[in-house]
Structure 1
Amino acid sequence: MSRRNSIALCWALVVCLLLGHNAYLWLGKRIVPDTDIMALLPVQKRDPVLQQSFTHMVDAAQQRVIVLLGAKDWTDAKRAADAYSAVLSTKAELLTTTQLTDQTQNDWLAKFQEHSLILLSSEQESQLKTQSPQFWLDSALRNLYSPFSGPKLGAWRDDPFGLFTGWVQERAQETPVRPRDGYLFVANAERQYVLLSLTLKDSVFAMGVQQSVMALLKQANEAAHKTAPDAEIITAGVILHAAAAGEQASNEVFTIGLGSMLGIILLMWVTFHSLKPILLILLSIAIGCLGSLSICWILFERIHLLTLVFGASLIGVAQDYGIYFLCNRLSADAKLSSEALLKRLLPSLSLTLLAAVIGYMGLAFTPFPGLRYMAVFSALGLVFAWLTVICWFPLLISGGTLKSGALVRAYGNTLTRWPRLKANKITIFIGLIFVLFAAFGVARLGVNDDIRLLQNPPQHLIADQIKLSKLLDAPTPVQFYLVRGATQEIVLQREEALKKQLDPLIVQHKITGYQALSNWVPSAQTQSVRKALLEEKLLNEGGALTQLAQQLGEDADWVAATRTHLLNSGKLLTLDEFLKTPASEPWRHLWLGKVTDDYASIVALRGLSNVNLPLIQHAGDGLDGVQWVDKVAEISSVLGQYRHYMGWVVMCSYLVVFGLLFVRYRRDTWRVIAPAAIASIATLAILGFFNQHLQLFHVLPLMLLLGIGVDYGIFMQEKASVHHATAWLAIGLSAANTLLSFGLLGLSKTPALQSFGLTMLIGIALVWLIVPFFRKENLHGD
């Protein structure tokens, strides 16, 4: 067996292993691509307390689905909710619903009644310090005799002065949601709503879960509308956005992949008028994809759906090596064996692979796991496609088997009319014009790294989220205060200090309120101070309790018994006790516990707006252990930092590639690399003329533009081509396919991929047009 046959056989065995592994993954293991968009966000070596605080807030939100069913009539709203819940109850393994019963409310209050004496509202604490005993006497008598004095929580003797009742009412103000007829109720001026809080049992980013839950919610919606046709249904939850993004990405994988494939087939048919070259190119691409999937799964144990979307554009690049070989096979002497031709082409094919891999692997320098997956996936795909060309193409196609048509000859003839760069006045004039164009365009290029520009959820989901947030007055999970200290007590004390600085902002209507664990469990210091204050102002001899007994005609024994009874409900409440109660469930995400050497908690703000954000974020200035966390601003800042960083990486990559190419091309190296450099600058200028805001996802494509642009420069400068027309045909076919794949990526509804694709679309088109200017004079003619 010849050496060439042995190499081909070994590669056949590798391909069989890839086929078997892919069959195992998709048919046996039944892997499902990950749809977690958070994989695109940066991972930093950062404060673990900060990281856990954000994770807590996100995790608390992402497994929940909130549904509001509203109608003008409360009865209709209840009927719609009953129909909706009935459908959900058939799939209890997917979703659980929080049930509200009288026992639930009793359990909620039971633990607090054991500590009711020292649970005061901030207003009551102030009144204890300033009001006379007569004020409290009047309050107690009003609570006893007036039927309209407010809700009664237990017997009058348990809370004669209404202090615990006032604290419960203040806690109720943390949300507009109220119990009503066994439902959770909220309303605006137009409708009354039943609130259903649903909890997912499985990951929201599993595509199977998304499909099942979305189908179930759709069925529940239909049942509710059938029962109450005029009902309004508002639904919000991370799974809705994840499912929409997953469906969109799946469609784009199909569209981009199919569009690229059809483009390749059409162009190859027009070029060669033969099915064999088409099958060979498709074979190299298919093996590239198989290899990428297998190795990426082995390395990362996951495949992200957006990786597949981006990987679909790989089709437009992986075919370069096969096209280059086929074009040279077409123009080479029929007597020259394909193995000899490959030997002649191998240096240039190796350099093109190396340049492209450098371009893709530049993405691996980013802090985004999702982009790293994309970079590794694409680079591996190129390597496997290249190996397929090297190992199989010389055996599968021989000299004289390829024929070209009139269209190919017509395209080749365009090169004879294409000007060539020369050292003359015209070149200097064009250069000056380009410098002015580039300078003016780049100067107009704005910069905006706001992460929100990379989001594009469906408008109906945004509308529902906004309306639900207004109705529920819910805090944002990405902007909050982080409070930490050496002990739980210090954390609670620091929360209380922060709240004193936030209270004026509520009065000024800058925020509507805050959620904090110290609302429910005051610090031990505060509880002790309040207990002493209560004893001094209300329970001691001569205080309001004594005067109340005189007013009611009770004796000293009654006073002593009542005082003892109240003091028994004045033992300190601890945070650990509270976190074990049913009432703590909605607030547990605010407590981080001990992280590294400190304890930490979160104070979440309600009614926060971007207009007031500069004022809010400085409210905690000067307080020990208090830190403002703004995940949106943080990620946007990281995007800006890495935009600068990747700009330097791109420039350094040009130097590295120049050094690699110089070994082969010497003084002509600049001709290889100049088209990519000029196209990159022109692309940025064009984006500036169209008033685009420069983002990281405009800079990252410049790495790929370097790799692909250098490929075209190598094709045009390589001496292995009999004449420039062969290289020009290979560049034309490659560029057309790459334009198609990245052009389709530019149509993506995922903004990051759209920016990436648009930049590549402009850049590749420019490289295609610029490369011929830098060709050397050919003794054989163009």
Structure 2
Amino acid sequence: MNPEEGSPHRASALLRRGVLVVWLACVAAAIAIAARTHYVADLSAFLPSTPSAEQSVLLDQLRSGVAARLVLIGLEGGTPAARQTASKQLAKSLRGSGAFDAVHNGDTSQFEATGKFLFEHRYLLSPAVDAQRFSVEGLKAGIDETTSLLGTPAGSLIKPVILRDPTGETIRMAEGMLPAQSPRMEGGVWVSQDGKRAVLLATTHADGADLDGQEKALAQVRESFGALKAEGVSLLVTGPASFAVGSRAKIKHEVELLALAGGVAIVGILLFSFGGSLRTLLIAVLPVACGVLAGVAAVSLAFGNVHGMTLGFGTTLIGEAVDYAIYYLIQARSRPGAPPGDGARRWTLDSWPTVRLGLWTSICGFAALLFSGFPGLAQLGLFSVAGLAAAALTTRYVYTVIAPDGAPGVGMRRRLGQAVGACSAVLPRLRWPLVAVTLVAAAALAWWPSAWHANLASLNPVGPEQIKLDEELRREIGASDNGTIVAVAAADEAGVLMQAEAAGLRLDKLVASGAIGGYESPARLLPSPATQQRRREALPEPAVLAANLAQATADGPLPARRLGAFLTDVEAARAQPTLTLASLKGTPLAAALSAQVLPGDASGGGSRPWRALLRVQPVDPAGTVEVAALRAALADLPGTHVVNIADEVSSLYARYLKEALVQALLGALAVCVLLGVHLRSWRRLLRIAQPVAASVVIVLAVMTGLGVALGILHLVGLLLAVAIGSNYALFFDQIRAQEKAQAPGTPFVVDTDTLASLALANITAGISFLLLAFSSIPVLSAVGQVVAPGIVLSLLLSAAFIPRRKR
């Protein structure tokens, strides 16, 4: 061979090596990104990125609020005394562990320091403090009211401090700070209403998004309980923190199990199909691995994290990514007498345009999700687009280098091709009966009520037993997450406390009229700086107070000469600094306030304001709050919103579903436009669209008839079913086009390898998604339930609706 002849071969060899180098570099980069990726499992990713004012309250709570850090603990079994002792010991151990900001079980013995702090600042915190309070009449009324309580159960608390607090400001603070509803007390600790369970409420120090920190805190609960000698007492743990950690572990376990089961099934099928060739098997998994890596890397770079559900969805990528490998390895098989590399050249010319068109249709369908206002849905879209593109490109450019003549061995491929050929000859005769079935399914969908009514809980992988336990413990502790909240907003801490006070004045009137049972407000624990200043200014000078006190106590039960400490305390209060959240840091009050006051985002340019949350209780604990009346009473307060959590969650999911449906329709429209531009024939477009649309209609009708509540992930599954099913329709249309291109009278023999590749791709994808249908994770199960039957129907209907030409 002369140098001129060898030059093209050398250039081709260099090009092939260059392709492999670039591919390996991309794989290495994707592996590095995936290894450093932060994986999350909370549902906040499936909440809107541009929420309404009411929804933003939920968003703050789920992402960084105390609601995401709650741990609900139950102790049951054993004797009541054993449960009470275990509750006290467990609470003490958890408080000392440093893993929790607060641990509540009804035991107030650890609040001695807090009580001292409140007592020393009672004149800034008591709602009764004003100028009238320290007049002669006010002092006399206050002292009389306080002394009258000495004979009541509260007398034991008043007697030690009455000489320093004769007007009873401590009692006034306690009245304002006590919750409207509290758990039942027994033996000094909280217990359930039936008394058979001790209950505790803890707040983890780790942020809600810090799942590793949450996991350590939960481990601390179990370790601390294990160290107790509580005979017959068992531990129950639930709450958002437990859900998040449990969800991550469950998703990881299920993804690994499904990937293993699907991998074993597909490996077995591929080995059987390719005559036991291990080399072919290793080559076949490359598009799948590259697709998953590319999806993880793309989502990580775009969002900064990868949701566990997105990663779980990645297992479904096996279904379509392995199709690309099967198409190539079978269709590019070398023919007898052909030169080396003929299979790759032939596949690139004949089949790659069809595969490429199928890829573009898939990308168009999933690209619609990229514009979703819900980060979780956008993640699914980006993962699918990047993963499918990487799998297809690996097939096109890497396979043609490492397997230029497809896969050796026949295995069961020939029989598969013959079977599909026989079916493709019979199914067109059933076209009109199948059309009738499709029309009946469409009519049923139009007649039946819509099945698109799943809720946000359908995304939660937590089992019903855990959800039921969570609801029980919340009722017993009074920490329901389905109540009504008044959320007020302001630019800073002082402003938000003033707003809370203004809202509290309106709510006081509703309490007095019997419209609501009560409410909790952070302003009761920490009044605004302006209110504290007014109370400080209301404190009289020592001489004035002494004179008024002398007159008020004349002939009274407490002579003025015994109240010198009272005069000293009032004088000290006149110089006390204003209390803020920072000054309460390290006290139990700070933990309580952190649940009710959410700091603004100063680093974000003030994009998120300060918020205070006032939880409203109904008159009847088993009833509900009249939201309309509440909104009417607060209508003219700026920055104030009434949030019914259950209603907002429902409306949130309704918006989520509506947006996803619109985007799916836009994606379907984009696919039709793409096919129309490429095919330039509305008849061919109709032929390709018919089987895919019919399969979607039939699957939806069957699931609706079975009473399945359809949701977001069913919709994503439909997109994936369309993406895979359209490939089958395109290949049958390609066969028809090849037959049409031949001269009249020329015999046309369908390539059995092409038919075998379609059958084998359908079998492997069907098995992958069938396994998902049996998953205990709703996200994966929903996808599998839709895709498995959808792609099988797409193949059968494509053979029926795209018949070969009659000769």
TM-score, normalised via structure 2 length = 0.80
- Could you say if the C-alpha distance between residues 11 and 86 of structure 1 is closer, same or farther in structure 2, counting changes exceeding 3 Å? farther
**Displacement after TM superposition at 1:546 (Å):** 3.7
> Could you tell me which residue of structure 1 aligns to residue 695 of structure 2?
679
How does 1:596-611 map onto structure 2 within 5 Å?
A: 596=606, 600-606=611-617
How does 1:338-353 map onto structure 2 within 5 Å?
A: 338-341=343-346, 342-353=348-359
Amino acid at match of 2:780: L
Distance in 1 (CA, whole Å) between partners of 2:354 and 2:411 is 23
Distance in 2 (CA, whole Å) between partners of 1:347 and 1:53 is 45
Distance in 2 (CA, whole Å) between partners of 1:483 and 1:572 is 31
**Structure 1 residues 113-122 or 404-413, which shifts more?**
113-122
- 1:114 lines up with 2:121 in the alignment: yes
- 1:517 lines up with 2:519 in the alignment: no
Distance in 2 (CA, whole Å) between partners of 1:25 and 1:470 is 44
Instruction: Give identity over the alignment, percent.
Output: 18
**Displacement after TM superposition at 1:102 (Å):** 6.3
How does 1:458-497 map onto structure 2 within 5 Å?
A: 458-476=463-481, 479-484=484-489, 487-488=495-496, 490-497=498-505
**Structure 1 residues 71-80 or 308-317, which shifts more?**
71-80
Q: Tell whether the 8 Å contact from 2:132 to 2:138 is kept in structure 1 after alignment.
A: no
> Could you tell me which residue of structure 2 aligns to residue 689 of structure 1?
705
Q: Tell whether the 8 Å contact from 1:449 to 1:637 is kept in structure 2 after alignment.
A: no
> Could you tell me which residue of structure 1 aligns to residue 447 of structure 2?
443
> Could you tell me which residue of structure 1 aligns to residue 668 of structure 2?
654
> Could you tell me which residue of structure 2 aligns to residue 322 of structure 1?
325
- 1:158 lines up with 2:169 in the alignment: no
Distance in 1 (CA, whole Å) between partners of 2:321 and 2:563 is 89
User: Which whole-Å deviations, capped at 9, do the CAs of 1:13-64 have from their partners, x for residues lacking one?
Assistant: 13332453355457xx665633333223332255599459734885223334
Q: Tell whether the 8 Å contact from 1:482 to 1:601 is kept in structure 2 after alignment.
A: yes
Determine which of 545, 551, 574 is the counterpart of 2:556.
551
> Could you tell me which residue of structure 2 aligns to residue 398 of structure 1?
405
Distance in 2 (CA, whole Å) between partners of 1:162 and 1:745 is 65
How does 1:209-220 map onto structure 2 within 5 Å?
A: 209=213, 212-220=216-224
Q: Tell whether the 8 Å contact from 2:675 to 2:685 is kept in structure 1 after alignment.
A: yes
Determine which of 367, 370, 374 is the counterpart of 1:368.
374
Distance in 1 (CA, whole Å) between partners of 2:425 and 2:64 is 61
Amino acid at match of 2:778: P
Distance in 2 (CA, whole Å) between partners of 1:469 and 1:754 is 29
User: Which whole-Å deviations, capped at 9, do the CAs of 1:182-236 have from their partners, x for residues lacking one?
Assistant: x865564425747473634476643x54654554444434333xx1122243323
Distance in 1 (CA, whole Å) between partners of 2:575 and 2:436 is 80
Query: Number of matched residues?
Result: 759
Secondary structure at 2:462's aligned position in 1?
A: coil
Distance in 1 (CA, whole Å) between partners of 2:499 and 2:18 is 65
Q: Tell whether the 8 Å contact from 1:117 to 1:164 is kept in structure 2 after alignment.
A: no
> Could you tell me which residue of structure 1 aligns to residue 254 of structure 2?
252
User: Which whole-Å deviations, capped at 9, do the CAs of 1:260-292 have from their partners, x for residues lacking one?
Assistant: 222322322333324143332112322333333
**Displacement after TM superposition at 1:314 (Å):** 0.4
How does 1:355-754 map onto structure 2 within 5 Å?
A: 355-395=361-401, 396-398=403-405, 401-405=408-412, 407-420=415-428, 431-432=435-436, 434-444=438-448, 445-476=450-481, 479-484=484-489, 487-488=495-496, 490-503=498-511, 513-521=518-526, 546=551, 548-552=553-557, 554=559, 558=561, 568=571, 576-577=579-580, 580-581=583-584, 582=587, 583-592=589-598, 596=606, 600-606=611-617, 612-613=623-624, 615-616=626-627, 618-623=629-634, 624-625=637-638, 626-665=640-679, 666=681, 667-719=683-735, 723=750, 725-754=752-781
Distance in 1 (CA, whole Å) between partners of 2:262 and 2:383 is 17
**Structure 1 residues 562-571 or 308-317, which shifts more?**
562-571
Distance in 2 (CA, whole Å) between partners of 1:611 and 1:78 is 27
- Could you say if the C-alpha distance between residues 140 and 351 of structure 1 is closer, same or farther in structure 2, counting changes exceeding 3 Å? closer
> Could you tell me which residue of structure 2 aligns to residue 9 of structure 1?
17
Determine which of 263, 282, 306 is the counterpart of 1:303.
306
Amino acid at match of 2:655: Q
Amino acid at match of 1:634: E
User: Which whole-Å deviations, capped at 9, do the CAs of 1:278-320 have from their partners, x for residues lacking one?
Assistant: 3321123223333333444344443332222110110110022
> Could you tell me which residue of structure 1 aligns to residue 742 of structure 2?
none
Q: Tell whether the 8 Å contact from 2:206 to 2:214 is kept in structure 1 after alignment.
A: no
**Displacement after TM superposition at 1:138 (Å):** 4.9
Q: Tell whether the 8 Å contact from 1:338 to 1:398 is kept in structure 2 after alignment.
A: yes
**Displacement after TM superposition at 1:436 (Å):** 3.2
User: Which whole-Å deviations, capped at 9, do the CAs of 1:216-260 have from their partners, x for residues lacking one?
Assistant: 444434333xx1122243323433111211121112212222232
- Could you say if the C-alpha distance between residues 278 and 447 of structure 1 is closer, same or farther in structure 2, counting changes exceeding 3 Å? same
**Displacement after TM superposition at 1:515 (Å):** 1.6
- Could you say if the C-alpha distance between residues 676 and 375 of structure 1 is closer, same or farther in structure 2, counting changes exceeding 3 Å? same
Q: Tell whether the 8 Å contact from 2:333 to 2:343 is kept in structure 1 after alignment.
A: no
Distance in 1 (CA, whole Å) between partners of 2:270 and 2:437 is 37
TM-score, normalised via structure 1 length = 0.83
Distance in 2 (CA, whole Å) between partners of 1:442 and 1:329 is 45
**Structure 1 residues 194-203 or 245-254, which shifts more?**
194-203
Q: Tell whether the 8 Å contact from 1:114 to 1:571 is kept in structure 2 after alignment.
A: no
Secondary structure at 1:483's aligned position in 2?
A: strand
**Displacement after TM superposition at 1:716 (Å):** 0.8
Distance in 2 (CA, whole Å) between partners of 1:146 and 1:210 is 44
- Could you say if the C-alpha distance between residues 210 and 688 of structure 1 is closer, same or farther in structure 2, counting changes exceeding 3 Å? same
Amino acid at match of 1:16: L
Amino acid at match of 1:61: A
Distance in 2 (CA, whole Å) between partners of 1:351 and 1:690 is 35
Q: Tell whether the 8 Å contact from 1:175 to 1:472 is kept in structure 2 after alignment.
A: no
User: Which whole-Å deviations, capped at 9, do the CAs of 1:642-673 have from their partners, x for residues lacking one?
Assistant: 43343333333333323322344323222122
Secondary structure at 2:703's aligned position in 1?
A: helix
Distance in 2 (CA, whole Å) between partners of 1:332 and 1:312 is 34
Distance in 1 (CA, whole Å) between partners of 2:431 and 2:293 is 47
Q: Tell whether the 8 Å contact from 1:97 to 1:197 is kept in structure 2 after alignment.
A: yes
Q: Tell whether the 8 Å contact from 1:701 to 1:756 is kept in structure 2 after alignment.
A: yes
Structure 1: unaligned runs, 5 residues or longer: none
- Could you say if the C-alpha distance between residues 127 and 692 of structure 1 is closer, same or farther in structure 2, counting changes exceeding 3 Å? farther
- Could you say if the C-alpha distance between residues 647 and 179 of structure 1 is closer, same or farther in structure 2, counting changes exceeding 3 Å? closer
Secondary structure at 1:700's aligned position in 2?
A: helix
How does 1:15-30 map onto structure 2 within 5 Å?
A: 15-21=23-29, 24=32
Distance in 1 (CA, whole Å) between partners of 2:156 and 2:89 is 34
- Could you say if the C-alpha distance between residues 504 and 330 of structure 1 is closer, same or farther in structure 2, counting changes exceeding 3 Å? farther
Distance in 1 (CA, whole Å) between partners of 2:68 and 2:99 is 14
Say what the alpha-carbon RMSD is for the aligned residues: 4.5
Secondary structure at 1:550's aligned position in 2?
A: coil
